[in-house]
Amino acid sequence: MRVSEIREQFPILSRTVKGKPLVYFDNAATSQKPQSVIDALSHYYSHYNANIHRGIHTLAEEATLAYEATRFAVQEFIGAAFVEEIIFTRGTTESINLVANTWGRQNIDAGDEIIISGMEHHSNIVPWQILCEEKGAVLKVIPVKDNGELAMGVYQELLSSKTKLVSIVQVSNSLGTVNPVKEMIAAAHKVGAKVLVDGAQSAVHLDIDVQDMDCDFFAFSGHKVYGPTGVGALYGKKELLENMPVFQGGGEMIKEVTFERTTYNDLPYKYEAGTPNIADTIALKTALDFIKSIGKDQIRAHEAELLAYATAQLEAIPGLKIIGNAQDKVSLVSFVIEGVHPQDIGVLLDNMGIAVRTGHHCTQPLMKRFGIPGTVRASFALYNQKEEIDVLVAGLHKALKMLL
Ligand code: PMP
């Protein structure tokens, strides 16, 4: 994999910040976009902007075809059996809320239990809390071990006939931990529970095969896989999606409307009310094509090198502690430095053109678990290189001189 050639495809990577070349290490928050994705957006608006599905004119047909082509691309990207199992949403957050509001409302009753983990993003905590409160159900939490892995023994003990749903992150956005979701799904299915996998962080790094994983639902966001913001997908097993109540009401999700009674559309349109995010959805296919053209194996190998290099370099900094040392990790390093607030480091690094994320990363309970206010998080993408990690390490030394 030629990183220099890949970098050339990302125009933003050649800009400067505060007079320094940009070092972009906030990929877990959102990835940068290749020129092809940017072009796909502008091409749509310049050449075939139209509303989809309803029009018979040429523009509407072209737009519909391109929009539906992305559905096939997502199907292939995550290995779904049927294209109608792919529902377009605004992203992971909306996908999870969709399941909570439809499947959840239909299937969760008083006394039922929902299991999540101690490393969930707020978007995989709050929707279940709201549902539990409404239904009188109970939220159970798998603890996180000191090394940032889940306490699998406790998970086994939490599972029971009361468990109706396990909703679990595949890759932690704060620690980088890769959870053994396949094994967890098999265990949940043994007690009759359904499983939702939050793939917001995993989709860009790991090979996703929802059939092999056997998850019931899978959610991810376009903007973290080199695609645009405002679009993502929910995968659900066909028989579940077919039997769930509708999410939002409006155009497109109906078959026939009378004032007495409305019948609903077939999958996947049943869950896609109103004019969707056409342009971004179309450009999402371009992003998935970009990933495919490089190959996840190549990406993973390059990112593993970056992770190993960064871990070794950062650990050598006195007082620096990496939070989360799971055996299986993606290319993300979260750390704290004794006597220094993460935010102060973030501000000083920004002055040197280095973009990292500081804070709780929308995982406040996880920060509490580790007894810290937050971390500095450097997350790497396929276009990052070792030289940039050297810049980060030098920047940290400089920042520490100022702060300590
Ligand atoms: N889950 C995880 C693990 C995430 O990292 C994120 C995004 N930071 C989300 C869910 C929510 O994704 P989005 O904001 O794109 O809906």
Percent of the chain surpassing pLDDT 70 = 100
pLDDT at 308: 98
The answer to whether residues 30 and 287 touch, using CB atoms and an 8 Å cutoff, is no
Question: Residue whose CA is closest, atom 6 of ligand 1?
Answer: 200
Burial class (CB in 10 A: 0-12, 13-18, 19+), 9: middle
Helix (H, G, I), strand (E, B) or coil at 362: coil
Could you identify the atom of ligand 1 that is nearest to the CA of residue 361?
Answer: 8
Place of tokens 């070794």: 312
**How far does the centroid of ligand 1 lie from the alpha carbon of residue 280, in Å?**
17
**How far does the centroid of ligand 1 lie from the alpha carbon of residue 398, in Å?**
32
Could you identify the atom of ligand 1 that is nearest to the CA of residue 123?
Answer: 10
Q: How far apart are the two ends of the chain, measured CA to CA in Å?
A: 40
**How far does the centroid of ligand 1 lie from the alpha carbon of residue 340, in Å?**
27
pLDDT at 293: 97
Could you identify the atom of ligand 1 that is nearest to the CA of residue 172?
Answer: 3
Under CATH, to which class is 3-30+295-403 assigned? alpha beta
Identify the active-site residue in 362, 364, 390, 393.
362
**How far does the centroid of ligand 1 lie from the alpha carbon of residue 123, in Å?**
7
pLDDT at 1 over 80: no
What is the rounded CA–CA span in Å between residue 50 and residue 60?
5
CATH 3.40.50.10420 assigned to 38-292: no
**How far does the centroid of ligand 1 lie from the alpha carbon of residue 166, in Å?**
17
The candidate with the shortest Cα–Cα distance to 134, out of 148, 154, 114, 163, is: 114
Helix (H, G, I), strand (E, B) or coil at 320: strand
Q: What is the pLDDT of residues 249-287, one digit of tens each?
A: 999 999 999 999 999 999 999 999 999 999 999 999 999
pLDDT at 142: 98
Q: What is the pLDDT of residues 204-223, one digit of tens each?
A: 999 999 999 999 999 999 99
pLDDT at 91: 98
pLDDT at 54: 79
Q: For ligand 1, pick from 93, 128, 218, 375 the residue to mutate: most ligand atoms within 8 Å of CB.
A: 93
What is the rounded CA–CA span in Å between residue 217 and residue 244?
12
pLDDT at 43: 98
Question: Residue whose CA is closest, atom 5 of ligand 1?
Answer: 173
Q: What is the pLDDT of residues 348-381, one digit of tens each?
A: 999 999 999 999 999 999 999 999 999 999 999 9
Could you identify the atom of ligand 1 that is nearest to the CA of residue 91?
Answer: 16
What is the rounded CA–CA span in Å between residue 87 and residue 237?
11
Q: For ligand 1, pick from 26, 30, 92 the residue to mutate: most ligand atoms within 8 Å of CB.
A: 92
pLDDT at 404: 87
What's the whole-number average pLDDT of the chain? 98
**How far does the centroid of ligand 1 lie from the alpha carbon of residue 314, in Å?**
26
Ligand 1 residue neighbourhood (C-beta within 6 Å) = 91-93, 121, 123-124, 169, 173, 198, 200-201, 221, 362
Please state whether beta strands 375-379 and 113-117 pair in parallel, antiparallel, or not at all (unpaired).
unpaired
132 is catalytic: no
Q: What is the pLDDT of residues 154-197, one digit of tens each?
A: 999 999 999 999 999 999 999 999 999 999 999 999 999 999 99
For residues 143-147, give the mean pLDDT.
98
Question: Residue whose CA is closest, atom 8 of ligand 1?
Answer: 29
Question: Residue whose CA is closest, atom 14 of ligand 1?
Answer: 93
Q: For ligand 1, pick from 88, 96, 123, 171 the residue to mutate: most ligand atoms within 8 Å of CB.
A: 123
pLDDT at 81 over 90: yes
ipTM metric: 0.99
For residues 317-344, give the mean pLDDT.
97
Assign 383 a pLDDT band (cuts: 50, 70, 90).
very high
Assign 55 a pLDDT band (cuts: 50, 70, 90).
confident
What is the rounded CA–CA span in Å between residue 27 and residue 223?
10
What is the rounded CA–CA span in Å between residue 264 and residue 325?
48
The tokens for 242 are: 């077919």
Q: What is the pLDDT of residues 293-323, one digit of tens each?
A: 999 999 999 999 999 999 999 999 999 999 9
Could you identify the atom of ligand 1 that is nearest to the CA of residue 169?
Answer: 3
For residues 25-49, give the mean pLDDT.
98
The answer to whether residues 231 and 279 touch, using CB atoms and an 8 Å cutoff, is no
Assign 331 a pLDDT band (cuts: 50, 70, 90).
very high
**Domain boundary assignment for the chain:** 3-30+295-403, 38-292
Could you identify the atom of ligand 1 that is nearest to the CA of residue 94?
Answer: 16
Question: Residue whose CA is closest, atom 4 of ligand 1?
Answer: 200
What is the rounded CA–CA span in Å between residue 89 and residue 93?
9
